Amino acid sequence: MNPLRRRWLLTLAAPSPAGTGSVDIALNLGGGAADQSCLASHPASSGAGLAWLRSQNGSCAASFDRDPSARASFGYARAEVLAAFVNALAMLALVVWIAVEAVSRLLQPIPVQGPVVMAVAIVGLAINLFVAWMLSRARGSINARGALLHVFGDILGSVAAIVAGAVIAFTGWMPIDPILSVVVALLILRSTIALLRESAGVLMERVPAHLSYEKVGRALAGLPGVAGVHDLHIWTMSADRPALSAHVTLTDGALWLPTLAAAQRLLAREFGIDHVTLQPTWVTGSGNGRVVPIVEKRE
């Protein structure tokens, strides 16, 4: 996707109090108290936080399109990963909040007006579906997935509010509200943990999940003229751009230029790694520094 278009989508479609607070408005109209339902309490409590997240999504969308500078030689692409990490932490906090509120409502039920809840929750659902559609167009962006996770939680909350409102309207059974809230929290939790693990992995410069450290090392060691590979490092510069550095032990120093070209082609073709830094060596080992397991060429 065009970077400018993705920036516009993230800025416009990031979670906002207007979209996420629709269920809260429904419960306010239905009973006159902002804390009547745990389905509504998480947008009410996080409205300011989500507004801040929206501004951060917009600023991060602007940041990761900036060119590298003398103070940021890698550029600012990782800003979107940081935004996704913050989004995941915020969603984790909201899951805990929903669970606490659900227990509170089970112990002390508060009456609400089901028909009003249903009517306004349907409006909120329509808004959230539109926002989700916009975010789905920013494919490949971990920040977009973080924002989409927020909206996904709001969609589930809207659906749960509609169901809860219907049950309350026709049966008067109040416990349906906290029960559905727990269900929504559990559904959100799994995706939240996955996003948190992925974004933290990028920030900690772990090997990308889709790449095998051993396979990459052995592929490099298998090139003609290469005796072994050591100090191999694979990490992610941004959400979707892996990078690699390594020391390559050569059988003959005169083979370095063709070996370097062959290694670059191999890494780009087989593993999708185009940011490559290779250093030729003529002895195995890595001096007095920390030793990364050596990948020797097998005859």
Q: Which secondary structure element, helix H or strand E, spans residue 230, and what is its range? A: strand 226-236
Domain termination site, one of 203, 234, 264: 203
Whole-prediction pTM:
0.65
Structural contact between residues 227 and 284, judged by C-beta atoms closer than 8 angstroms: yes
Question: How many domains, the chain?
Answer: 2
On whether both 165 and 232 belong to a single domain, the answer is: no
On whether both 121 and 229 belong to a single domain, the answer is: no
Structural contact between residues 32 and 112, judged by C-beta atoms closer than 8 angstroms: no
pLDDT of res. 277: 95
On whether both 36 and 140 belong to a single domain, the answer is: yes
pLDDT of res. 33: 32
Give the pair of three-digit tokens for residue 111: 């009456």
Residues of the chain with pLDDT under 70: 1-66, 138-146, 283-299
On whether both 165 and 30 belong to a single domain, the answer is: yes
The reply to whether 47 falls in a domain is yes
Domain termination site, one of 151, 174, 203: 203
Domain termination site, one of 203, 224, 254: 203
On whether both 148 and 270 belong to a single domain, the answer is: no
Smallest CA-to-CA distance from 202 within 264, 152, 143, 144 is with 143
On whether both 35 and 123 belong to a single domain, the answer is: yes
The reply to whether 289 falls in a domain is yes
Give the pair of three-digit tokens for residue 289: 């520094």
Question: What's phi and psi for 233, nearest 5 deg?
Answer: -130, 130
The reply to whether 208 falls in a domain is no
The reply to whether 272 falls in a domain is yes
Provide the residue range defining the domain that includes 225.
213-296
What residues form DSSP beta bridges with 229? 248, 295
47-79 residue pLDDT tens: 333 444 444 444 554 555 567 777 877 778 788
CA dist 299 and 294 (Å) reads 15
Structural contact between residues 202 and 78, judged by C-beta atoms closer than 8 angstroms: yes
On whether both 163 and 265 belong to a single domain, the answer is: no
Q: What's the distance, CA 177 to chain centroid?
A: 29
CA dist 254 and 275 (Å) reads 24
pLDDT of res. 244: 97
pLDDT of res. 82: 86
pLDDT of res. 278: 96
The SS3 of residue 69 is coil
pLDDT of res. 22: 36
Residue type, 23: V
pLDDT of res. 279: 94
